[in-house]
Amino acid sequence: MKTKDLQEMVRTKATELIQNWVSENNFLNPGEQLQVSVTVSIAKPPTPVIVSVVLTEIENKSVDELTFSSRAKNGLYNQGITTVGMLCQRTVEDLDRYSFCGSVAVAEIRKALALECDGMALRNDTVWNGKELTDLGLDLAVERRLRNVGITSLGMLIRLSEKELRDKGVGKSFIKIITSRILWLGKSLKPK
């Protein structure tokens, strides 16, 4: 196989995998599109094929720009975690091992990732993005209304403010029910 053919095949597959992963985790708001740029370099054997992916703007965002305690930010920096992309590679269990990161700090970090980084989450963190609307225990009419306006998961829901929900045609009484159920799970809609 020619080097150019192999590079194109790897680039196509990497782009497809990234787009599927972003789609499955509901990282984009309705109407947004993902632009992926993949660079493939092939070295002579025995060096393996090297695939490098250009990180998104959000993944390159500094942890310092997020809204959570300075103690947690300083602790992350001391552990070499300086960007959102690096933070999202850690699990809740990884953060629990750090002395600076108690349950309150972990909750703040999760919330900051979800609200300030377009629904991103810690690795294997199903608390934010993995919950389906059915997991909220909403009335069928409320759940149906949310699905009709394109909201299919808790991760998508918490990225919206009450005003944005109203703009999508969700009524005030439904929003009140949604807000109370989300609060019951220890979460909230995006601030106004």
**Domain 60-116 listed as CATH 1.10.150.20:** yes
CB 37 within 8 A of CB 56: no
**For 151, phi and psi rounded to 5 degrees?**
-100, 115
Residue 5 has pLDDT above 50, yes or no: yes
pLDDT band of 82, cuts 50, 70, 90: very high
Strand partners, 50: 41
Amino acid at 2: K
At 50 the pLDDT is: 46
**Looking at the chain, which residues constitute the CATH 1.10.150.20 domain(s)?**
60-116
Going by C-alpha positions, the residue among 63, 66, 106, 107 that lies closest to residue 86 is 63
Strand positions, DSSP E, the chain: 38-41, 50-53
pLDDT, one tens digit per residue, over 148-160 is 888 877 777 877 8
What the block records as the tokens of 90 is 């850690």
pLDDT, one tens digit per residue, over 166-180 is 999 999 998 888 888
- What pTM was computed for the model? 0.44
